[in-house]
Structure 1
Amino acid sequence: MSDLPPMTSIKRWFVTTNHKDVGVLYLATALFFLLFGGVLALVFRAHLWEAGGTGLLSGNEFNQAVSTHGLLMVFWFLSPFAAGFANYFVPLQIGADDLAFPRMNALSYWFYLFSGILIAISFFQQGSFAGGWTMYAPLNVPTYTPAMEATTGGNATVLALLLFVFSITIGTVNFLVTIHRSRAEGLGLWNMPMFTWSWLLTVWMMLFAFAALLAALLLLSIDRIFLTQYFATDQGSGLLWAHLFWFFGHPEVYIVFFPALGIMFETFQTFTGRRLVGRKWVIIAMVLVAVQSFLVWMHHMFLTTINLEITTLFMATTIGISLPFDLMVFALIYTMVKGRVRFTTPFLFSLGALVLFILGGITGVFLGAVVLDYEFRGTYWVVAHFHYVMVSGVTALIAGLYYWWPKITGKMYSETLGKLNFAVYFIGFNLLYFPMFLAWETPRRVFNYGEGMQIYHQMATVGAFVLGSSFLIMFFTLAKSWVSGPDAPDNPWEFSRTAEWAIPSPPPLENWDGRPSYASGRLEFVDDSAAATDGGVATGHAETTTESAHEDVHADHASIWPLGIGLGTFVFFLGLTGITPYTVSFATERGLEGVGTGAETSILYPALIAAGLAILAVTLFKFGVEEFNAPEMPVAERWPFEGVGNTKMGVWVFLASDVVVFGAAIGAFIFMRIHTGWSEWTTVPFASWPGLLNTYILLTSSFTVILALVFAERQNKKGLLTAMGATLLLGLAFMSVKAYEYSVKFSHGDYWWNGIEYSIYFVTTGLHALHVILGLLVAVFMIYRIISVDAYLEDHRPVEFFGLYWHFVDIVWVFLFPLFYLM
C-alpha cells in the first residue's frame, strides 16, 4: 500500500507515513490529552474549594485524579505536542524530504495513541494508579494499594507508560538519524534553525533519559505482575526507584522545555526583526544544559540518606545548571530590546512564557539550596515552582501553535481573538499558580488542608477555571479560522527566516519542487535534472549523486502495518494488566506465604495476550515483507556521519539506548548488593558451568554471524543460509541451557519471588534472554527471506545490521556471566 488517499478520506489517517500528517496526528491527539488531564485538574481543584476534606472526591479518588493528571500532562501532552511540531517542521527546516524511517515514524504515533487509550481504560479496571505521578516506591507496588483488585488499573497505567516509552525511543532514533544525515546541501549544524537545534538536543536527552525510565518501568511492571522484589519494603529498596526515576526525571524537565525554548527563539527573531543575540553562545549554553541535566538528579533526594558531601556536590551542580539559562534569558531580552517588537499573538505567548519561566527558575533555585529544600520539600511551593516551569513551556508551545497555524492549515486567524486568548490565559495562569506559593505550607498530593490556607486555595480554584476557559477561547479561535478564516499567504510573517516559509501553505506532499540547497549561503531550490551526471561527486560534507536516477524512485507515503503493530501491542499489554491474580495463584501453590489471590481470575486476560501475540505475528511479518520505498537524499550534509547509512546509524543509536537499559538493570544489581551487604549476598546459580557453556555458545554464534556477512558479500546463497542456520541453532542451544538452568532452580523451590537476590538473577538474565529470543525471531524471518526470494545477496546490509544487534547481545552476556556466576 503506497498510494496515499486524499486528506478528506478517513483512511488516509490510518495509513499515512508522511511526516506532516503524522505531525498533525500528534498535535490533535496531544490536545485531546490536554483536555483529559485538564478536566481531572478542574475536578480536584473543585474538591479543594473548602478546607477539611469534605469535597467531591474520596481520598483514593483524589489520589487517582492527581496522579493521572500529572502523568497525562507530563507524558501524554507536553512532549508529544512538541513532537507534533517537530514531525511537521524539522524536515522542512533542514530541507529533508521526510524523516529517515517513515513507517517507524507512524509506528511511534500509534504506540503513543494506544498507550493513552490504555491509561484511560485503567479507570474502568477497579481504579487507575493512585501513587503520584512520580510513582514513588513502595506506593508503586500492589501491597500498598487499597485491595488486590485495584492492581489491574495500576498495572494498566504502568504498562501504558512502558508503551509510551517504546514510542519515544522509536521517534528519538528516527529524528537523530534524520537531523544528522538529511540536512540540505550547505546546511551545517551551526546554521540549523533554533527550533531544530532545540529538538536535536531534546532527542539526544530523550535517548538516554527515557532508556533509564524504560528500565525502571520494566522492573516495576515485573514487580507488579510477577511479584519480584525490587521495590518491596521487606526486600527491595524505594531508594533504587528514586535513583532510576530521577536519572530520567530531571532531564525530562529540559526535554519538555527545550522545544518550547526553540519556539521562543524562532518567534522572538521573527517578531523583533533581528537575529538572535549571541546565537552561538546560546547553542553552547543549551549543549551544556543537556549534558548537565544528567548530573543533578540527586537534588530530588536531599531528604534521603545520602551524605553531606554528596548533597553539597549536587547542590552545586543544581545551582550551576541555572547559569546557562541566565545566558539564554538575557539573549532573548537583548534580542527584544535591540529589535522592533510586533506584539502578535505568537509573540505575546512567547513573551509570557519568558516572564513565567523567569519566576519559575528563581523559585527553583530556592529548592537547590539544601537548607531551604528541607523546608519546602513536599509542599505547595514545589507544586507552584514546578508548574511555573512546566506550564511556561506550554505557554511557548501555544505560541508555536499560533505561529505555525497558517502554514499547517493555509488559514489565518483573528488576532483580536488570539490576544484575548492570551490575556485570559495569562491572568488565569497566575491566579492559579501564584497563590500556591503563599499556601506553601500545604502538603502536596493531600486531599484536605488547614482553614488558614482556604483563601489561597479558593483563588487557585478560580484561576484553574479561568485558565481552562482560555483553552476554550483558543479552540474557538482556531476552529473559526479553519472554517471561515482568510487564506494565508505562503509567508504571513515579514521577518520569518526558516525554510518552511519558502513553500506554499499548506505544504505539498513532497515538500519541494526542486532540491533545497544552502551552498550559496542562502536558501535556493536547484533543478538538477538537466545537469545529472553518470557518477557521484563528493563536495565538502555534501554528497552529490545522479539526480535523474533519484527522480525515478517513487517515495511511498502509506502503510497499514504500523497501525496493526500498534494494535497488536495494545491488545497484548491489555492482557498483561490482568495477569497478576494468576501469578499470585501460581505463587501461593508453590509456598509463597501471606499473599491471597484477592481477585477472581478471568480467562479474558490470557485470551487477550494470545490475541495480541497473534496480531503482532501477522503484522510484523507483513511489515517485514512489505515493499516500501523511503530513499535516502542523494545530496545532503551528513557530517559527522558521512560513511554511515541511515539504517546502520539507526541501529547504533538504538543500541546506545539499550546500553542504558542494561546498565540500569546491572546497576540495580550492584546497588542492591551494596545495600544488602556485599558479603551477605546469596549467590543464586547452582553452578558456573551453564554460564560458561553459554558464553562459549554465544561467542561461537558471533563468529557464524560474521561468516553469514562474508557469504552475503560473496553472493553465496548456500553459505549464507548455512551460516544463518548455524546462528539460529546456537541461539536455540543457548536458550536450552538457560531453560535447563531455570528448571533446576524451580525444582529446588527457588523462584523469582523468594528474595531480592532471586528477583535480580531471574530478571536480569531473563531480560538478556528476551533479547536473544527477539534476535532468533529476526533470524528465522531472514532465513525465510533467503529461501523464498534470495534476499540479502544483492544488498548484504541487513545481515550486517542483524550482526550488530547479535554482537551487542553477546557482549552483554560477557558482562553478566562474571557478575552472576563467578562473583
Structure 2
Amino acid sequence: MSELPPKTTVKRWLVTTNHKDVGILYLITALFFLVLGGVMSLLFRAHLWESGGTDLLTSIEYNQAVTTHGLLMVFWFLSPFAAGFANYLVPLQIGAKDLAFPRLNALSYWFYLFSGILFAIAFFQESAFAGGWYMYAPLNVPIYHPAMEATTGSNATILALVMFVLSITLSSVNFLTTIHYSRAEGLGLWNMPLFTWSWLLTVWMMLFAFAALLAALLMLSSDRILLTQYFATEQGSSLMWAHLFWFFGHPEVYIVFFPALGVMFETFQTFTGRRLIGRKWVIIAMVLVAVQSFLVWMHHMFLTTINLEIKTLFMATTIGISLPFDLIVFALIYTMVKGRVRFTTPFLFSMGALVLFILGGITGVFLGAVVLDYEFRGTYWVVAHFHYVMVAGVTALIAGLYYWWPKITGKMYSETLGKLSFAVYFVGFNLLYFPMFLAWETPRRVFHYGEGMEFYHQIATVGAFVLAASWVLIFVTLAYSWIAGPRAPDNPWEYSRTAEWTVPSPPPLENWDGRPSYASGHLEVVDDSTAATDGGATAHETENAAHAGHADHASIWPLVIGAGTFVFFLGLAGLTPYVIEFAEGTGAVSDRLVGTEAEKSILYPIFTLLGAALLGYALFEYGRERFHAPEMAIAERWPFEGVGRTKLGVWIFLASDVVLFGAVIGGYVFLRLHTGWGAWEPVPPSAVVGLLNTYVLLTSSFTVVLALVMAERRNKRGLLGALGATMLLGFTFLVVKGWEWSYEFEHGAYWFTELQYSTYFVTTGLHALHVIFGLLIAGFLLYRIWSVDAYLGDQRPVEFFGVYWHFVDIVWVILFPLFYLM
C-alpha cells in the first residue's frame, strides 16, 4: 500500500507513515491520556479534602489512582506530547521530507497507543498496579503485596510499560538517524534550530535511559510471570531496583524538560525579536546536562544504606548539574532584557514556565543536600518540587501548542481566549502546588493526613479544579479556532526564524517542492532533479530512490504489528495466576503454588498464541512490502559521512542493546556481590558445554562474513549455503543450551529455585531470545534469496544482519566466563 487516503477518512490515520500525520496522532493521543490522568488526580485530590480522607476512595483505590496518575503523566503524556511536536517539526526544521524510517515511525506510535490501551485495561483485570509510579521493590512483587499486586491487571501494567519502552526505542533510533543523516545541505549541527537541538539531546538520553528501565522491567516481569527472585525473596535486592530505576528516572526529568526548553528558546527568540543570547554556550550547557544526568541518580537514594562518601559524591554531582541550568536561565532572562517583548499567548506560557521552573529548581537544591534530604524525603515537599519542575515543562509545551497551532492547522485562534486560559492556568497551578510546600510535613503516598494541614490541602484541591478548568479553556480556544478561526498566514509571527515557517500552513505532504539548501548561508529551495550523490548516500540508496519514482507514505503493517504485540502482551499478563508461598520464617520457596480458578482462564493462553501468530505474520509481510522512504542525495551527515542510513540505524539500536545487556549483567554482578561472590557456584553442569557453545557462535560469525562475501560476488548458491550454515550453527547453540537447561530441571533446579538460578536462566535466556530473533531474520533473508534472488549485488541487508549477529556473539563471550568459570 503506497497511496495515502484523504485526511477526512479514517483509513488515512490507520495507514499513514507521514511524519506530520504521526505527529498529530501523538498530540491527540497524549492529550487523551492527559485527561485520563487528570481525572485520576481530581479523584484523589477530592478524597483529600478532609484530614481523615473522605469516603470517595478506599485505601487501595487511592493508591491505584495515585499510581495511575503518575504513570500516565510521566510516560503516556509528557514525553509523547513533546514527541508529537518533534514528529511534526524536526524534519521541517532540518530540511528533510520525512523521518529516516517512516514505517518505524508509525510503528512507534502504534506501540505507544496500544501500550496505553493495555495500561487502561488493567483496571478491568481485578486491580491496576498500586505501588507508586516508581514501583519500588519489594512491594512491586506479589509475595510482599498480595492484596494489591498479585493480579493480572498489575502484570498488564508492567507489560504496558515494556511495550511503551519499545515505542521509545524505535522513535529514538529513528530521530537520531534522521538528525544525523538528513540535514539540509549547509545545515551544520551548530546551526540547527534550538528546538531540534533540544530534541536531539532528548533522544540520545532516551536511547540509554529507557534501555536501563527496560532491563529493570524485564527482571520485574520475570519475577511476576516466571516467579524468579530478583526482588521477591530475602536474597533479592530492593536496592538494585532503586539503582536501575533511578538510573533511568533522573535522566527522565531532563528527557521531559529539554523539549520544553526547546519551545522556550524558539518562542523567546520569536517574541523578543532577537537571537538567543549566548546561543553556543546554551547548547554546550545542554550537552553537559545530558551527560551529567546519568551521574546523579543516587541522590534519590540518600536514605538507603549507601555509605556517606558515595552520598557526598552524588551530592556534589547534583549541585554541579544545576550550574549549566543557571546559564540557560540567565540566557533566557537576558534575551528578554535585550529584546522587545510581545506578550502573545505562546510567550506568556513560556515566560510562566520559566518562572515556575526557577522555583522548582531552587527547591530541588534542598533535596540535593544529604542532611536536608533526610528531612524532606517522603514528604509533600518532594511532590511540590517535582511538579514545579515537570509541570513547568508542560506549561512550555502548551506554549508550543499555541505557537505552532497555525502551522499545523492553518487556522488562527483568539488571543483573548488564549490569554484568559493562561491566567486561569497560572493561578490554578500555583494554588494547587505551592500549598504543598507549606504542608511539607504531610507524608506522600498516604491517603490521609494530620488535622493541622487541612487548610493547605483544601486550597490545593481547589487549585486542582481551577487547573482543570484552564485545560477546558485551552481545548475550547483551539476547538473554536479549528471550527471558525480565521485562515492563518504561512508565517503569522513577525520574527520567527526557523524553516517550518517558510512552507504553507499546513505544509504539503513532502514539505518542499524542491531540495532545501543552506549552502549560500540562508535557506533556499533548489531543483533537486539535478542532485547528484555525495559520499553520504550510498550508490545503492540513490539508485533505489530513483527507481522508486516517488516516496511512499502509507502502510497497514505497523498497525497490525502493534495490534499483534498488544494481544500477545495481553495474554502474557494472565499467564501467571500463582502466588509463591514461603516456608514460614525461612524465606525459602515452598512446593505449593496457589491461584484462583478465575485467574487460570484459558483465554490468556489463547491470546498469547493468537498475538504471537498475528505478530509473526505481520512482521513477515512488513519485510516483504516494497516501501520507498524519501531519500536525500545531498545532505549534511557529519560525523557519519559515508555511513548508510540503515546501517546507522542498526548501530544506534545496538547502542541501546548494549545498555540493556549491561544493566542485566550488571544486575547479576551486583547480586553476587550483595550475597557474597564466593557463595555462588557456577550453575551450568560443565564449563565444557559453555566452551562448546562459544566455539559454535564464533564459527557462526565467520559464516556470516562468508555470506557477505558471497552476496558481493552475486553467488546465490554460496550465499544460501553460508547463511544456511549460520542458521544451523545458531540452532546448534540453542539445542546445546536446551540440553543444559533440561539437565538443571532433571536435578531439581529451576529459575525460581534460588537467586543464582534466576540470574542464570534470565540472563542466558535473554541472550537466547536474541539468538532466536537473529535466526528469524536469517530465515527471512534465506526466503528472499531463494524466491526473488534478493541481496545479490546489494549486500547491505546481509551486512546489517551480520552486525547484529556479531553483537550477539560478543555478548556470549562476556556471559561465558561470568556464568561458567567464576
TM-score (norm 2): 0.97
Inter-CA distance 526–298: structure 2 relative to 1 (3 Å threshold) = same
Q: Which residue of 2 aligns with 1:167?
A: 167
Structure 2 SS opposite 1:580: coil
Shift of 1:690: 1.2
**How is 1:31-180 mapped onto 2 (pairs within 5 angstroms)?**
31-147=31-147, 150-180=150-180
Post-superposition shift, 1:551? 9.4
User: Which one-letter code corresponds to 2:276 in the other structure?
Assistant: L
Q: Map Cα deviations across residues 508-543 of structure 1 (whole Å, 9 max, x no partner).
A: 0010012100001111111243xx37x64569x999
CA distance in 1, matches of 2:176, 2:616: 28
Structure 2 counterparts to residues 347-366 of structure 1, below 5 A: 347-366=347-366
Instruction: Tell me, yes or no, if structure 1 residue 622 matches structure 2 residue 618.
Output: no
Partner of 1:778: 777
Q: Find the counterpart in structure 1 of residue 249 from structure 2.
A: 249
Alpha-carbon distance change, 697 to 549 in structure 1, aligned in 2, over 3 angstroms? closer
Q: Look up the equivalent residue of 2:75 and give its one-letter code.
A: F
Do the aligned residues in 1 keep the contact of 2:571 with 2:605 (CA within 8 Å)?
yes
Q: Secondary structure at the match of 1:56?
A: coil
Is the CA contact 2:568–2:608 (under 8 Å) kept in the aligned structure 1?
A: yes
Tell me the equivalent position of 1:482.
482
Deviation at 1:148, TM superposition (A): 7.9
Alignment of 1:444-483 (within 5 A): 444-483=444-483
CA offsets per residue over residues 758-787 of structure 1, 9 Å max, x none?
100000000000000010111111111110
Please tell me the residue identity of whatever aligns with 1:367: L
Could you tell me how far 1:555 is from its partner in structure 2? 0.1
Alignment CA distance shift 1:390-1:518 (3 Å)? same
Asked if the contact 2:533–2:633 (Cα under 8 Å) also holds between the matched residues in 1, the reply is no
Q: Provide the secondary structure at the position in 1 that maps to 2:459.
A: helix
Structural RMSD (CA): 1.9
Partner of 2:595: 597
Once residues 209 and 393 of structure 1 are traced to their aligned partners in structure 2, the CA distance between those partners, rounded to angstroms, is 19
- Match of residue 663 from structure 1: 662
1:374-425: CA deviation from partner (whole Å, max 9, x where unpaired):
0000000000000000000000000000000000000000000000000000
Secondary structure of the residue aligned to 1:407 is helix
- AA at the equivalent of 1:189: L
Shift of 1:799: 0.1
Q: Which residue of 2 aligns with 1:554?
A: 550
For residues 92-491 of structure 1, the aligned pairs below 5 Å read 92-147=92-147, 150-491=150-491
Whole-angstrom CA distance in 2 between matches of 1:129 and 1:570: 18
Aligned: 1:794 with 2:801: no
Gaps of 5+ in 2: none
Shift of 1:322: 0.2
Deviations 1:462-510 (A, max 9, x none): 0000000000000000000000000000000000000000000000001
What SS does the aligned partner of 1:686 have? Answer: coil
Amino acid at match of 1:322: S
1:685-696 to 2 correspondence within 5 Å? 685-696=684-695
Rate the CA distance shift 1:773–1:504 in 2: closer, same or farther, 3 A: same
Q: Distance in 2 between matches of 1:669 and 1:548?
A: 46
Deviation of the 1:550 alpha carbon? 4.5
Q: Secondary structure at the match of 1:593?
A: strand
Whichever residue aligns with residue 809 of structure 2, its letter is D
Aligned equivalent of 2:710: 711
Q: Give, as a single letter, the amino acid of the residue that structure 2 aligns with 1:750.
A: A
Q: Which residue of 2 aligns with 1:759?
A: 758
Change (3 A) 1:282 1:711: same
Q: How big is the shift at 1:688?
A: 0.9
**Equivalents in 1 of 2:284, 2:538: separation in Å?**
24
Instruction: Kindly provide the amino acid, as one letter, of the partner of residue 621 in structure 1.
Output: F
* Cα separation, 2, equivalents of 1:689 and 1:682: 16
Letter aligned with residue 205 of structure 1: M
- Rounded to whole Å, the distance in 2 between the matches of 1:408 and 1:337 is 31
**Residues 791, 640 of structure 1: alpha-carbon distance in 2 compared, 3 angstrom cutoff:** same
SS in 1 for 2:151: helix
Q: Which amino acid aligns with 1:674?
A: L
CA shift at 1:55, angstroms? 3.2
Q: Is the 8 A contact 1:544 1:635 kept in 2?
A: no
- What is the aligned partner in structure 1 of residue 637 from structure 2? 638
SS of residue in 1 equivalent to 2:516: strand
How many equivalent residue pairs?
Answer: 816
- The AA in structure 2 aligned to 1:641 is F
Report if aligned partners of 1:357, 1:388 keep a CA contact under 8 Å in 2.
yes
Aligned to 1:9: 9
Q: Counterpart of 1:436 in structure 2: which amino acid? A: M
Q: Indicate the larger mover: 778-787 or 381-390.
A: 778-787
Distance across 2 between alignment mates of 1:74 and 1:186: 37
- Paired residue secondary structure (1:715): coil
Counterparts of 2:127 and 2:331, CA distance in 1: 47
SS in 1 for 2:525: strand
CA distance in 2, matches of 1:104, 1:343: 40
- Whether contact under 8 Å (1:632, 1:646) holds in the other structure is no
Query: 8 Å contact 1:536–1:544 — kept in the other structure?
Result: no
Could you tell me whether the CA contact under 8 Å between 1:543 and 1:636 is conserved in 2? no
Deviation of 1:54 (Å): 3.6
Question: Which amino acid in structure 1 is aligned with residue 295 of structure 2?
Answer: L
Judge conservation of contact 1:93–1:196 (CA < 8 Å) in 2: yes
What is the rounded CA distance, in whole Å, between the counterparts of 2:597 and 2:437 in structure 1? 43
CA offset at residue 360 of structure 1? 0.0
Task: Name the CA distance, whole Å, in 1 between partners of 2:169 and 2:545.
Answer: 33
Relative to structure 1, the CA distance from residue 716 to residue 517 in structure 2 (aligned partners, 3 Å threshold; closer, same or farther) is: same
Residue 37 of structure 1 deviates from its aligned partner by 0.1
Question: CA shift at 1:591, angstroms?
Answer: 8.2
Which residue is equivalent to 1:728?
727
Contact 2:26–2:83 at 8 Å: present in 1 too?
Answer: yes
Asked if structure 1 preserves the Cα contact closer than 8 Å seen for 2:430 and 2:463, the reply is yes
Q: Quick check: 2:14–2:559 contact (8 Å CA) kept in 1?
A: yes
8 Å Cα contact 2:534-2:634 kept in structure 1: no
1:581 and 2:577 are equivalent in the alignment: yes
Q: What is the CA distance between 1:235 and its match in structure 2?
A: 2.0
Specify the alignment match of 1:649 in structure 2. Answer: 648
Give the share of equivalent positions with the same residue, in percent: 78
Q: How many angstroms does 1:142 deviate by? A: 1.0
Q: How does 1:19-38 map to 2 (within 5 A)?
A: 19-38=19-38
Retained in 2: the 8 A contact 1:536–1:546? yes
